[in-house]
Structure 1
């Protein structure tokens, strides 16, 4: 591990100045991903700027009935918050599915959004001779012909087929969350669906954050009508990264879908908002055949690799099962 300096920022101005003054500085929330990557040599910061003392650890109701979630709110506090559990249950479920209690106690909302892929060719860092365009731009992607069972089936490119590991981000995408940030020039915001850059030819450029920007929080608009749910499929029942996941909200009236929200996880380099499926569902019957047809419409764009084609029937079944459960729940309200 490279030697580094450590500074605990007193406020946002202090943090921004430190991040701007040192090109190799990194913000530190809980460190549950960053410190691991430092150990393998993937991340080699010269300075860690600890954000724990910043006043960004609150969850507040907004004037329009949404929620504002600070960047240093822990995953434990987010999942336990009564308004999150009542109005955005899929969000609480996603956080609880994401990691053990020990990790949730440390991990922060801002850090969760910025966590990097768990592709083995990337995380091996300096101990690996395999090429990785995220780690060393222009070196190639070993996963294309190597181990890619867990990798992307949607939105990938010849330069990278890794997936984004966050469960939280998938639920936030379904709820139309907006990521807020601060720079030396002032505040800004980006819809979460535009926060992650398309992988393209530059997979090492992962987000739309301006240089030196600091995530300050996430804003949720008022919760959509109807129930919501997050479901994650993984190799084992204990905590593991997803093979496929779904965050969904469904508004059904008299057997007809009035509104649907769907976001897939573990299928692309970012949370995948399933717009084609949503369009196919809206105005149609709330039954298994319609749910399956909507999943097929979304997955028609998939380009699986030789060893991850299983994700397509997995996701199809996930959509049908979760939407059927939500339709039955909506009928009892």
Structure 2
């Protein structure tokens, strides 16, 4: 680990001022410390925001819920309002990490997790995300866990978060504060696809700090979060799925489908949702939606199974949720 300046901010304004273009914010540190220890990231300064008053979980006017950026994943998952009104989020958080990590990890830090691609962490490997223009060894390497949707010739890494997949299905909003003031960004637009700039992972501007995440007012959804992984203990998803379904009188009124473990960002399957809305809530419609969810998949040498796995997962989960309706 290289030397860096450690600074502690007294408030949000000071944190933004201290960070500057070469700084990183420190909250739980569950990902940042790993990256710094392996010298994947080498920030000149680290700004400790862990003591800022950003950990509250508060109701919003109109019925939504605001999650402070420093709210611990364990606290969010255990919050009675989250469990009752947004169970898909609580389930995603509980499946996302070990209890020890959930007790340290924060909402804001979870949004900023970086890929667990082995080539990204290996300083001897070519990685455009770590070193722009270096190439991507994953393309011709062992890419079993890599992206099948939204990838580019420059990067096939996947986003590792479970929480973010649930937030994408819920259409949450990320609130930011930076040198130019405050702004809000839909979580579905917060993360970026790799394109020609895989090292630019989010829409965050220089010095911007995540302050909170807003959940919209609850709807009469039936929802679930499902995660398929290589082992039952703490592991990243091969494919994960957040589904929200509103079925009335045998027809689908509204649907949200978000996939994890398959793309550079949480992947909203908009075409699958369109297949469902207005259609009969039957197995034929669910099969069409499942096919649409993976229609754009472009598997690599070792991960073609992900497309079929995702298709089956979408279909099965829709059938189960419709049954609950």
Please tell me the TM-score bracket, short chain as reference.
over 0.9
Structure 2 distance, partners of 1:202, 1:226, is: 37
Contact 2:8–2:49 (Cα < 8 Å) also in 1: yes
- Which residue does 1:268 correspond to in 2? 263
In the TM superposition, residue 98 of structure 1 has moved relative to its aligned partner by: 0.4
Gaps of 5+ in 2: none
Structure 1 distance, partners of 2:89, 2:265, is: 17
- Which residue does 2:3 correspond to in 1? 3
The equivalences for 1:1-333 within 5 A come to 1-20=1-20, 23-124=21-122, 126=123, 129-330=124-325
How many residues are treated as equivalent by the alignment?
A: 325
Structure 1 distance, partners of 2:323, 2:27, is: 40
Contact 1:180–1:190 (Cα < 8 Å) also in 2: yes
Greater Cα offset, 265-274 or 286-295: 286-295
Instruction: Give the SS at the match of 2:211.
Output: strand
In the TM superposition, residue 153 of structure 1 has moved relative to its aligned partner by: 0.5
Structure 1 distance, partners of 2:220, 2:186, is: 20
* TM-score (ref. length: structure 1): 0.96
In the TM superposition, residue 116 of structure 1 has moved relative to its aligned partner by: 0.2
Structure 2 distance, partners of 1:274, 1:224, is: 19
Contact 1:175–1:224 (Cα < 8 Å) also in 2: no
In the TM superposition, residue 64 of structure 1 has moved relative to its aligned partner by: 1.1
What is the aligned-residue RMSD (CA, Å)?
0.9
* TM-score (ref. length: structure 2): 0.98
In the TM superposition, residue 5 of structure 1 has moved relative to its aligned partner by: 2.1
